């Protein structure tokens, strides 16, 4: 078995004080780092995704520019490529990351599967190349990017788990619903 960890969007703009900060985001960064330090040999590969949006356009309508954001499909400007907000949170230890994925360049993107690796590979191609058959998912936000990434991972035929103690969501109700939807789909929702 080849196991990978997906760390989804643990970025400054998605943690407290950021453009779209969620409560508990910084704790997820620290928690993921602690988890990896306590289990150094658990994963063969560690993927880390980042929103990496264009600065000079609305990224396919993803950024609210003329109307207030609806926080469903339009959002405040966030995670613009090369800015502090797009960087990984400082409490996230990234030395174990083997594959970085950037998503959203000019278009809306929630799932890690909508991004590309630094080498320009798609995530499914990279998973196949590395022989990954089990994926654990952690990160931000439970009710959007974690949900989409875990469902897409499941759709590739791999065994998928989400660690509910290492995710943080936009809202409590939608985050709880997301975990229920994941369970119903066949994802194992458990604690790290």
Residues recognised as catalytic: 9, 103, 145
Check if the beta carbon of residue 124 is closer than 8 Å to that of residue 113.
yes
Show the tokens assigned to 186: 């066949």
Count the neighbouring beta carbons within 10 Å of the beta carbon of residue 35.
17
Sheet holding 116-117, edge to edge: 116-117, 99-103, 45-51, 3-8, 134-140, 159-168, 188-190
Please list, in sequence order, all residues whose beta carbon lies within 8 angstroms of the beta carbon of residue 84, skipping any fewer than 6 positions away: 12
| Rounded CA Rg of the chain | 15
């Amino acid at each position: 078995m080849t196991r990978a960890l997906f760390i989804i969007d643990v970025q400054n703009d998605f943690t407290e004080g950021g453009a779209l900060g969620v409560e508990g985001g910084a704790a997820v960064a620290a928690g993921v780092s602690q988890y990896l330090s306590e289990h150094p040999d658990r994963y063969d590969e560690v993927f880390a995704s980042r929103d990496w949006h264009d600065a000079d356009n609305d990224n396919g309508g993803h950024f609210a520019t003329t109307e207030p954001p609806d926080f469903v499909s339009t959002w405040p400007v966030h995670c613009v490529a090369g800015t502090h907000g797009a960087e990984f949170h400082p409490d996230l230890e990234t030395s174990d990351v083997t594959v970085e994925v950037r998503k959203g360049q000019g278009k809306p993107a929630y799932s890690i599967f909508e991004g590309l690796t630094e080498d320009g590979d798609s995530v499914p191609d990279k998973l196949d190349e590395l022989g990954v058959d089990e994926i654990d998912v952690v990160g931000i936000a439970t009710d959007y990017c974690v949900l989409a990434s875990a469902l897409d991972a499941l759709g590739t035929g791999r065994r998928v788990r989400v660690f509910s103690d290492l995710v943080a969501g936009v809202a409590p109700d939608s985050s709880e619903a997301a975990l229920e939807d994941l369970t119903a789909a066949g994802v194992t929702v458990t604690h790290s």
